[in-house]
Amino acid sequence: MNRALVVLFVCAGLLLLGFSPDSRADTVRCESSGSYRSCPVDGRSGVRLTRQLSSQGCWQGDTWGYDVGRIWVDRGCRAEFQVGGASSSSSKDNAVAAAVVLGIVGAAIIANKDRDRDRRDGYYDDRYGYGDPRRTIRCESNNNRVSYCGLPYRGHVEVYRQHSSSPCVYARSWGVERGRLWVSNGCRADFAVY
Amino acid sequence: MRIRRFVPVLAAALLCTGAMAATPAGDAAADQKPAGHKASDHKRAGHKPGDRKSRLLARMDRNGDGKISFEEYRNAMLRRFDARDKNHDGVLDGDEFPQQWLSGAAITAEQKRISRDDFSDQLQPSFDHFDADKDGDLDGAELDAFLAARHQEKQP
């Protein structure tokens, strides 16, 4: 009888241990290939995006977010997230040295500007190579009404510059549907097409 | 190990060349360029059109508040890195490695390569370095400091 009770307590203890919230920080990878995706995690003690893997934007509350039970990602946001725990101290860098070097590099850029003028100009014509959008399109929802804007070509669309005080949040106040861009709820913005 | 010290430099250099690309010459094809020079933008940001800060904000300030948040910085910097990484292997090497940005500096990269992960991991430290008041945004004097390398352009 007594032994059975002890075994029971030990088992209960082990169970509790196994199911107690893990205070360690875990890294979770959650990736959208273009559409909405959710990854189950215990989000009660917070989630932090620690490393963005995608070129396509990761914007909290827009293309990624979390709640108590999951991390979600959308529109091509791919990233690693730290779930729970204190923020891990990332690799410390020599900031002072970096600042000094920065100034020197600034000078280096100027020096090279003259020396490599031709090459540089050629390079600058390659706007695409900067990661800047090929084109931006202004689309505005007035009086909270839905309006549509044409897209010049197929490509990944992101908010480039929001002009309204009303938030432009994907699927809520803007989106892409049958090759057209739509905005609503007062979202006014320049959209980038990559 | 040594290469890690270049990463903030590269980050800044990527950004600086980005701002440089928006020089008037580059804006000749205005219809093709991102619409970052609208009068309304500058009214909001409180800068004259065409100054360096405005150009930087036009490129990175997604919500139009005149500041650059870490999220805006991270997204812009990674786009720039990825655009330079022509063969999409997650490493800038060979012709992709921006050697010219390091020449003239009193440092030499032993390895002419930098991985996306190393670059990515330095984004927060480099941002924090310029975020003097630690409020999570680069604005005002912090942006000036960030652009300081570019200021030297005007000097002979």
Nearest CA in chain B to A161: B62
Asked if residues A90 and A60 have their Cβ atoms less than 8 Å apart, the reply is no
pLDDT at A105 over 70: no
Give A103→chain B minimum CA distance, Å.
5
Q: Identify the three-state secondary structure at position B66.
A: coil
Q: What is the tens place of the pLDDT at every residue in A108-119?
A: 333 334 334 434
Is residue B127 pLDDT above 60, yes or no?
yes
What ipTM does the predicted assembly reach? 0.73
Spatial contact of A24 and A85, defined as CB atoms under 8 Å apart:
yes
The DSSP letter of residue B154 is G
User: Is some CB atom of chain B closer than 8 A to the CB atom of A159?
Assistant: yes
**Residue A61: C-alpha distances to residues A9, A76, B116 (Å):** 44, 14, 25
Q: Which residue, A27, A94, A194, A105, is CA-closest to B76?
A: A194
| B87 in reach of chain A (CB within 8 A) | no
Closest residue, chain B, to A187 (C-alpha)? B63
Percent of chain B scored above 90 by pLDDT? 17
Q: Does B78 touch chain A (CB under 8 A)?
A: yes
**Cβ count near B58 (within 10 Å):** 26
| Eight-state DSSP code of residue B90 | S
pTM over 0.90: no
Radius of gyration over alpha carbons of chain B, in Å?
16
> Using the beta-carbon criterion (under 8 Å), do B148 and A103 form an inter-chain contact?
yes
Q: Which residue's entry shows tokens 């009193």?
A: B106
Mutation site, B42, B52, B62, interface A, largest A CB count within 10 A: B62
Write down the pLDDT at residue B19.
55
Q: Identify the band that residue B55 occupies on the pLDDT scale cut at 50, 70 and 90.
A: confident
pLDDT at site A181? 96
Interface mutation target, options A93, A100, A137, A138, chain B, most CBs of B under 10 Å? A93
pLDDT tens digit sequence for A121-178: 334 333 445 677 888 999 999 999 999 999 988 889 999 999 999 999 999 999 999 8
User: Which residues 6+ apart lie within 8 Å of A75 measured at CB?
Assistant: A32, A34, A35, A56, A57, A63, A156, A158, A170
Q: Higher pLDDT residue, B145 or A6?
A: B145
Which of A48-57, A112-121, B106-115 comes out lowest in average pLDDT? A112-121
Tell me the C-alpha distance between A121 and B21, whole Å.
9
Neighbours of B33 (CB within 10 A): 20
